[in-house]
Copies of this chain bind each other. A is one copy, B any other.
Amino acid sequence: MRLTRTLLPVMKESPADAQIISHKLMLRAGLVRQTAAGIYAWLPLGLRVLRNIERIVREEQDRAGAIELLMPTLQSADLWRESGRYDAYGPEMLRIRDRHEREMLFGPTNEEMVTAIFRDAARSYRDLPRILYHIQWKFRDEVRPRFGVMRGREFLMKDAYSFDMDEAGARHSYNRMFVAYLNTFARMGLRAIPMQADTGPIGGDLSHEFIVLAETGESEVFYHANWERPAALRHVDFDDVAGLRSIVSGYTADYAATDEKRDAAREAGAGDALRQSRGVEVGHIFYFGTKYSSAMGLKVQAKDGSEVVPQMGSYGIGVSRLVGAIIEASHDDAGIVWPDAVAPYAVGLVNMRADDAACATAADDLYARLRTAGVETLYDDRDERGGAKFATMDLIGLPWQMVVGPKGLAKGVVELKRRATGERHELAVDDAVARIAQA
């Protein structure tokens, strides 16, 4: 994409109302703009990051055997009366009346709706187990929205729901999502720590939050130093019940808990290895048995002809919040440092001297070559000084910068800079394109 053809309104100064670094950088780098309290528009660069995160979440859900569908944003109040949550849910639920005075709401979560859909579709044990998920905008009417997309009101969430014939099956579904989540976050370059957590308004008796360490996080967290090892992707067979169980046991062997779930004995056991920090919740999984299936009359026929009330769980990932969480975890004084997997473009191509015809021709040619090689490129072809272009590139944090200037051209080279390390190398044009195409 040529910068002269897109919309990238970067700002030199931090807006006064942004308190945390990710919020400041998202505004300065032109990723989002607030359109109402806690509600954001995603500008072109921000949308590309959001889509990359969404794609990774989707791929890992699919890999774990979950099935994608898409439920609407608006729900009928009657559905929530079936579970008893319509009156129980607090003022965070946005209640709406339509032109016929029917009571509706903007969905904050979808346990009721997915239970109704599954109740309509499933007849027997042949239709189970299933994990259904969707990636859809939700609304929670936070009393004081802040921290940008980290605690906004309209947010993009992946929520999955499992249906099993018995508790053993439900625990396997829970383990599927547990491992899928670790892989999902690892692919984004995040170390997310699963911590036993309260179940809150979802209910149930087993729950883990996945928490990314960040000084600006909303929760205080306690964990064993072993969790400071970098996250690694696990290649697993998601149908292997025992194998998955042992992976989850391994992961939960090291102590990690939020403030509400601290365990004095385990903390004493950790000794010097106990760490305290703050964290941002990026995922939350729940096993809640038949809470919704019982209340809403979901039953299926077992193999022996008897009726069974399916066991359920639900599994959320904060897709839009992850954009902020990744920036909290990956930035420096100059701006954002995107992990390759979620970066809006792989490389920023900078023509240092827009007024130099040879530079412009060489940069145009490089842009064409990079596109031919399938490299997602943002080409700063603006009529601006080199310094302003470098500052923009550092701010928006693309993993690579390729710089075309008159001195290099005279030698037949361009400069390649790795944003994360600041390392710079001069490379022949062909080598520079090949280097990035292979990255």
Contacts and interface: CB of A to CB of B under 8 A. Distances in A.
A249 interface: no
A50 B70 contact: yes
A165 to B, nearest CB: 14
A164 B364 CA distance: 25
A173 interface: no
Contacts of A154: 72-74
A91 interface: yes
Interface string A113-157: 100111011100011001010000101010100000000011000
Contacts of A143: 99
A306 interface: no
Contacts of A36: 72, 74-76, 79, 102, 104
A86 interface: no
Nearest to A129: B5
A204 interface: no
Closest 8 CB pairs of A and B: A9-B121, A42-B70, A36-B76, A41-B71, A91-B99, A99-B141, A39-B72, A72-B154
Number of copies: 2
12 contacts: A7-B69, A7-B127, A9-B121, A30-B121, A33-B121, A35-B76, A36-B74, A39-B72, A43-B121, A44-B67, A72-B154, A98-B141
Contacts of A104: 36
Nearest to A132: B7
A117 B33 contact: yes
A215 to B, nearest CB: 28
Contacts of A383: 126
A91 B101 CA distance: 12
Interface in A1-58: 4-7, 9, 30, 33, 35-37, 39-44, 47, 50
A4 B127 CA distance: 7
Contacts of A308: none
B69 A120 contact: no
Contacts of A116: 35
B73 A117 contact: no
A297 interface: no
A302 to B, nearest CB: 16
A94 interface: yes
B69 A121 contact: no
A426 interface: no
Given A69-B42, A72-B154, A121 B7 contact: yes
Contacts of A7: 67, 69, 118, 121, 127, 130, 132
Contacts of A74: 36, 39, 106, 139, 153-154
A68 interface: yes
Given A36-B75, A73-B137, A74-B139, A4 B94 contact: no
Contacts of A79: 35-36
Contacts of A72: 35-36, 39-41, 137, 154
A59 B432 CA distance: 29
A96 interface: yes
